[in-house]
Amino acid sequence: GRAPAVGQQVLVRLTRISGIRYDGKVIRVLEREQKRLFGTAVAGRGGMVLLAATRGSRDTIQLQTGGDITAAEGDLVEAELLPRRGYIGKTARIIANLGPATSPGAFSALALAEFEIPHVFVDSVIAETDGMKVPPARGRKDLRDIPFVTIDGADARDFDDAVWAEPDGPGWRIMVAIADVAHYVRPGTALDREAQLRGNSVYLPDRVVPMLPEALSNDLCSLRPDETRAAMVAEIWLDAGGQMQDCQFHRALIRSVARLTYDAVQAVHDGTSTPADIGITPAIYANLAGAWGALDKARQEREPLALNMKERRVVLDDDGVPLAITKQAQSESQRLIEDFMIAANVAAASTLIRANKPCVFRVHDMPDPEKTEGLRQLASAVGAKLARGQVLRPHHFNSILGHVRDTDDETMVNEAVLRSQSKAVYSIENIGHFGLSLQQYAHFTSPIRRYADLLVHRELIDVAVANGSKTSNGDNSGRKIGNSDLAGLAESCTHISETESRAAGAERRTIDRFAAALFASETGNVVSGVIAGLTGAGAFVSLKDGVADGFLPIRSLPDDYYMLSDSGMEMTGRHNGVRFRVGDKMDVLVVEVTPVNGGILLAYVDGGGTAKKGGGPHRGKSGKTGKPGKKGKAASSTASKTRKSRKQRRRS
């Protein structure tokens, strides 16, 4: 279960060991009542009430009126819960009005507020960027004659990495140039404190909250074509099989020759375009592709976790109104850049280990056996196997993923494998990276948007200075800029791991809200879905190939008492024997959609799925799905009851 944090209350089962000594086992973490609330102000009996932005919240909270900050019907608000008086229901006062819930940008504004993400730079931080300029060539390696290129998404605004390659005997020599953020962001400055506080940039569908002011992120630290820029360059020598033979790091000046997009490079890869069409020479493309071929061999040899996850992207019009949500698979051109970046990250970690310097490692622990037990049952249900009684390696999971590739179960199984994994974090203790099958790994390639990378850059600069490299000490004149305080570095690792999780949560919640808003037109319709997860309260159903998720309450299922298996992978009716499994296809009625909390409430449709009597074969992969049609009796009844109960709750 979830580990308790310092200061949280927990329910503990005590077992006497001897005398007054007890062994305590945490049963569950007791939630504290949340004081800050977010939601939509709606008209209720006796005045405005708060429609909470938290999914699953059922409380009716009266909004206190007459204060300095007011709200109209439909406004998104932040409210503070007031002390309760006797038996009077919950009351809150409005402390911020975030604007109409239907306005463009409302969902992102809500996410920034509820996740407490700093998004405004104070004057003292901005002031430190005034007068900053690209450093002179003295003390740097001049690589401006190397034809570096950047390859990013078409909508990218900052370009913090550039790549180059050439043959080196039977192997390859590659360079990965990364914006030299450490030149501009010095320890102890307001810029540095703000970057550490933020921890990382936050990417939402309609805006980016940068870690650094735009004077740096979109200008001086952006490797734009035909402009001289300061960079940290990883120079790496590979053998024909893509294995690193040697590496060096330089503080340098570079000049990119082209800003390429993934789509443009992919077109050359596919043969529908030429290097000349995208503004580069045939040699530039051929060398990058050749070096990537070697890196790809190394990847295949080490067998990292081969998840095929499609990223959800919200398509907006010019006014910020959502038009659709798409899911995009990774292309070969994206994999090329990913493998170049991984090579540079490995080189950074190995260099710091070799120099016996502190390092902020990117670590990924082995999966928890408890998490893999449910996956083992799911694998069996789709005709695959997960080894039992041995140390699991990524290739064990890959065998399951390969079994369901290009089948209806692929998305669901990929998500299940991802959920079974540990969470990657930052640490000064190196335990390796399970998912990438690497013994040493750090983040070096994105100091514009990750503070972890900036910390790694500073240590690498100190290594170069200690080695007496006149082309690497640059403007620091031999002064150390790394962090020798291991305790402080460990605290930084904890903090930036938390800010990374915070950013991911804000992005996920915002996309969920956009998805719900787009799904609102389906209210009252029967749609197809796949059971993605089960709890004692009901089923989470993946809709439209994972674009959105809805919740099917247990009260909506055929009348019975349902028991959840220990693995959490199936739920069975005690008397009717009807069984629901993760991966089962089913048709469901869309009862209610609440965009402000991303909630999609579903109801069961009689005969609209692959639920079956216990003992029958699992047909989640190939079972028939009932055709969408009119509301069945059970679904219609459930829908009306649900609407009625929600209306009653709002009036109470």
Alpha-carbon span 322 to 209, nearest angstrom = 19
The answer to whether residue 623 scores a pLDDT higher than 50 is: no
Cβ–Cβ < 8 Å for 543, 549: yes
Q: What is the dihedral of CA 354, 360, 361, 364, to 10 degrees?
A: 160
Stated as kind and residue range, the H or E segment containing 633 is: helix 633-651
Pair of tokens at residue 187? 């320890």
- The alpha-carbon radius of gyration of the chain (Å, integer) is 27
Pair of tokens at residue 527? 């749609």
Alpha-carbon span 209 to 118, nearest angstrom = 8
Pair of tokens at residue 81? 């819960």
At residue 45, the pLDDT reads: 80
Q: What are phi and psi of 595, to 5 degrees?
A: -55, -35
Residue for token pair 């950047």: 150
Give the mean pLDDT of 560-583: 88
Cβ–Cβ < 8 Å for 429, 360: no
Beta-sheet pairing, 599-609 with 585-594: antiparallel
Cβ–Cβ < 8 Å for 59, 90: yes
Alpha-carbon span 163 to 341, nearest angstrom = 9
At residue 160, the pLDDT reads: 92
Pair of tokens at residue 162? 């550039």
Q: What are phi and psi of 58, to 5 degrees?
A: -120, 0
At residue 604, the pLDDT reads: 93
Lowest pLDDT segment from 110-119, 387-396, 493-502, 506-515: 387-396
**Closest by Cα among 278, 324, 258, 297 to 519:** 324
At residue 642, the pLDDT reads: 40
User: What residues are paired with 609 via a beta bridge?
Assistant: 586
The domains of the chain, with CATH numbers, are 36-103 (2.40.50), 123-365+422-513 (no CATH), 523-651 (2.40.50.140)
Q: DSSP letter string over 71-138?
A: --TTEEEEEEEPPP-TT---EEEEEEEEEETTSTTHHHHHHHHHTT------HHHHHTTTT--PPPST
Confidence grade of residue 639 (pLDDT, cut at 50, 70, 90): very low
At residue 152, the pLDDT reads: 96
**Closest by Cα among 7, 360, 341, 352 to 196:** 360
At residue 641, the pLDDT reads: 40
Pair of tokens at residue 538? 């009901």
User: What residues are paired with 592 via a beta bridge?
Assistant: 601
Cβ–Cβ < 8 Å for 41, 48: yes
Give the mean pLDDT of 482-496: 89
Confidence grade of residue 409 (pLDDT, cut at 50, 70, 90): confident
Confidence grade of residue 4 (pLDDT, cut at 50, 70, 90): low
Contacts of residue 569, Cβ cutoff 8 Å, sequence gap at least 6: 374, 377, 378, 381, 534, 581, 582
Alpha-carbon span 30 to 4, nearest angstrom = 9
At residue 18, the pLDDT reads: 62
Q: How many CA atoms lie within 13 A of 228 on its CB side?
A: 13
Alpha-carbon span 553 to 602, nearest angstrom = 7
Q: What is the DSSP letter of 140?
A: S
**Is the Cα torsion angle 43, 49, 55, 58 positive or negative in sign?**
negative
Give the mean pLDDT of 189-197: 98
pTM score of the predicted model = 0.84
| Residue 190 exposed, middle or buried by CB count within 10 Å (0-12, 13-18, 19+) | middle
Please, what is the Cα angle at 422 between 420 and 424, to 5 degrees? 140
Residue for token pair 């005590």: 14
At residue 613, the pLDDT reads: 53
Query: What is the end-to-end Cα distance of the chain in Å, rounded?
Result: 34
The answer to whether residue 609 scores a pLDDT higher than 80 is: no
The answer to whether residue 21 scores a pLDDT higher than 80 is: no
The answer to whether residue 577 scores a pLDDT higher than 50 is: yes
At residue 83, the pLDDT reads: 84
Residue type (1 letter), 90: K
At residue 377, the pLDDT reads: 83
Give the mean pLDDT of 628-651: 38
Lowest pLDDT segment from 81-95, 262-276, 362-376, 502-516: 81-95
Angle between helices 486-519 and 106-114 (to 10 degrees): 150
Burial 319-346 (b: 16+ CB within 10 A, else e): ebebeebeeeeeeebbebbebbbbbbbb
Instruction: Please state, as a whole number, how many other Cβ atoms lie within 10 Å of the Cβ of residue 10.
Output: 12
Lowest pLDDT segment from 130-144, 287-301, 531-545, 555-569: 555-569
Give percent helix, percent strand, percent coil of the chain, each to the nearest 5: 30, 30, 40
Q: What is the DSSP letter of 67?
A: S
The answer to whether residue 34 scores a pLDDT higher than 70 is: no
Alpha-carbon span 357 to 348, nearest angstrom = 11
Q: What are phi and psi of 238, to 5 degrees?
A: -115, 150
Alpha-carbon span 178 to 626, nearest angstrom = 54
**Closest by Cα among 311, 317, 305, 320 to 372:** 305
Alpha-carbon span 454 to 185, nearest angstrom = 9
Give the mean pLDDT of 375-380: 86
Task: For the chain, give the longest Cα–Cα distance.
Answer: 82
Cβ–Cβ < 8 Å for 532, 582: yes
